[in-house]
A and B are shown apart, each in its own frame.
Chain A
Amino acid sequence: MLRYTLLRVLGAIPTLLLVIALAFLMVHAAPGGPFDDERALPGDVAANIERAYHLDEALPKQFARYLSGLVRGDLGPSYRYRDYTVSELVSASFPLSMQLGALAMALAIAVGVSAGTFAALKQGSYLDRWVMAFSMTGISIPVFVFAPVLVLLFAVKLQWLPAGWSSTAGASRLVLPVITLALPQIAYIARLTRASMIDVLSRDFIRTARAQGLSTFTVVRLHALKPAMLPVLSYMGPAIAAILTGSVVVEEIFGIPGLGQFFVRGALNRDYTLVLGIVVFYATLIIFLNLIVDVLYGAIDPRVRHR
């Protein structure tokens, strides 16, 4: 197990380097500099600014500087938010995004797994068909389409929940964003769980367990759930990425001051370092969480460890 974990960790390092290099090159290969405005700066002013941000150096040197900053947790200065470093902006806004994401993930797993399991147990029933129809809809329709529709329905028309991120609303302001973020993942997880549960339930060991007179609930809880969860577990990586992507939209729609909102602002303002920093941060986070998923997978399924 230790060997497996170590191999996984070592495997993640080149990926991480590749990502950082790719992101860095994309930004630096861009035509025009970050300070190109409609009105050109006088030559010496431009040269001073370039020197201050080390833009006059050769590309490999800049990259080395960026990497050494990264190791110390320094993502460089923001080009637009003049008095802030990118790291300050990220650490100020990320906790909120993380809270949203974690809640959405928990909701998605809880609802998705239960719905999928019930659908598998009652295969072909009305319940099953409804779950499948819902999950096809949830997979097809993007977050930015049903988020505003949900706001229109529950906040504007019915007025049950706040539409935006008002400070007086308390926890109720979390409800719509979390549900919106979780919906597509619920759909996906339900579908995955249903398929793998149907597969597992047809195996011999389940038949044996049933023959021993165990109730359906016990069979599912003790025997079927763990093997059926493997495909769901391997979906966790893409799910995390999808929730991060979704949170960009959700934060924009609900006006939540999280990392996603900074990302969009940065992109619209052409704040190169901020966008680069957030991409590197997101990528690192995703690679790290994928690593955890991989290790968990190995812990649950010994076949993976010994391949």
Chain B
Amino acid sequence: MRLLRNRAIRVSGVILLVISVFALFGPWISPNDYLSTSFDRSLLPPSTVGAHLFGTDDLGRDLFVRTMLGIRVTLMVAIVASFVSLVIGVTYGAIAGFVGGRVDAAMMRFVDTLYALPFIFFVILLMVAFERNFLLIFVAIGAVNWLDMARIVRGQTLSLREREFVDAARLTGVSTGRIIFRHIAPNLIGIVVVYVTLTIPQAILVESFLSFLGLGVQEPQTSLGALVDAGVNQMEGAAWVLLIPAGLLAAILMCFNFLGDGLRDFFDARHVD
């Protein structure tokens, strides 16, 4: 496949795949669970003894299983949040681009306004007002990240709308809704895929930021952000409690960014020829 010839896509894709497979199946293979505590094995360094591959935390919980669980939660939040932002952003952008004129100008002015806002603070405000509801984290993060998507989709729709095949469809009496779904939407897929890949790390960032501050995922559930937070408290005596989740979070974020960049190059290159 041509896609795999791009090194950034290949390498980051493989790393992400390996991490996800571990996160999915790791907890099944490990003899430990994420909940049971024991002071006899508090803060053990990583070793194969007792299969504590990533060591244990201050309560003696196995960090391998907790980290894998954290990755699961982080990835899940990221995917759902990106989906929410995909739905909002594509709908908003497609409407603005397709309708055009004053509606478009007003809708885009609104997006510009929102760009200036410190969204993360509104997410925190939501968390405070509506308890810390897991579902709400998804929706709130998604609702934060749709602006880029809306802008990109709007630009693309605007240029697609003027193309001959859309005129042809309109002339043959195809309805507006059908034009949008059958003729415009398929042409948006490439660019949307690229921006979803770039939205995922942003969603991960927001989720782990909230969890780091103690406002996101609540104990005994965990996410990479919450694990980093716990690691900060132990770092003087037990650096691995911090370094392993921090390293994994950094790796995941970098891979998604490289993947997004690679995909953008790939789709842009096709755009040129």
Contacts and interface: CB of A to CB of B under 8 A. Distances in A.
A305 B213 CA distance: 42
Interface stretch (B61-69, B89-97, B124-132, B155-163): B124-132
A277 B117 CA distance: 15
A290 B116 contact: yes
Contact of A149 (B113, B130, B246): B246
A286 interface: yes
Interface in A181-201: none
B125 A237 contact: no
Contacts of B128: 27, 30, 266-267, 270, 272, 275
Contacts of A287: 116
B77 to A, nearest CB: 15
A286 B116 CA distance: 7
A96 interface: no
Interface in B218-273: 225, 228-229, 231-232, 235-236, 239, 242-243, 246, 249-250, 253-254, 257-258
A31 B126 CA distance: 11
B213 A252 contact: yes
Interface string B192-234: 0000000001000100110011110000000001001101100
Interface string A2-16: 000000000000110
A307 to B, nearest CB: 13
B142 to A, nearest CB: 16
Interface in A232-257: 237-238, 241, 244-245, 248-249, 252-253
Given A15-B116, A268-B215, A286-B118, A279 B125 contact: yes
Interface in B124-144: 124-131
B231 A148 contact: yes
B165 interface: no
B117 A144 contact: no
A18 B235 contact: no
A107 interface: no
Contacts of A149: 242-243, 246
B121 interface: yes
B213 A286 contact: no
From A152, A276, A282, A287, name the one whose CB has the most chain B CB atoms within 10 angstroms: A152
Contacts of A146: 246, 250
Contact of A137 (B118, B130, B215, B254): B254
A253 B235 CA distance: 12
Contacts, number: 121
A167 interface: no
Given A15-B113, A145-B250, A244 B118 contact: yes
Contact of A241 (B118, B124, B212): B118
From B125, B131, B239, B253, name the one whose CB has the most chain A CB atoms within 10 angstroms: B125
A136 B212 CA distance: 22
B37 to A, nearest CB: 23
Interface in A106-150: 136-137, 139-142, 144-146, 148-149
A144 B225 contact: yes
A263 B124 contact: yes
Nearest to A15: B113
A266 B161 CA distance: 49
A200 B143 CA distance: 37
B28 interface: no
A27 B129 contact: yes
B14 interface: no
B130 A148 contact: no
A292 interface: no
A245 B118 contact: yes
Nearest to A281: B121
B124 A144 contact: no
A187 B254 CA distance: 14
6 contacts: A15-B116, A26-B125, A241-B118, A245-B118, A248-B213, A279-B121
Interface of B: 113, 115-118, 120-122, 124-131, 201, 205, 208-209, 212-215, 225, 228-229, 231-232, 235-236, 239, 242-243, 246, 249-250, 253-254, 257-258
Given A148-B242, A237-B115, A286-B116, 9 more contacts: A19-B117, A23-B125, A140-B250, A140-B257, A144-B212, A148-B231, A249-B212, A267-B124, A286-B118
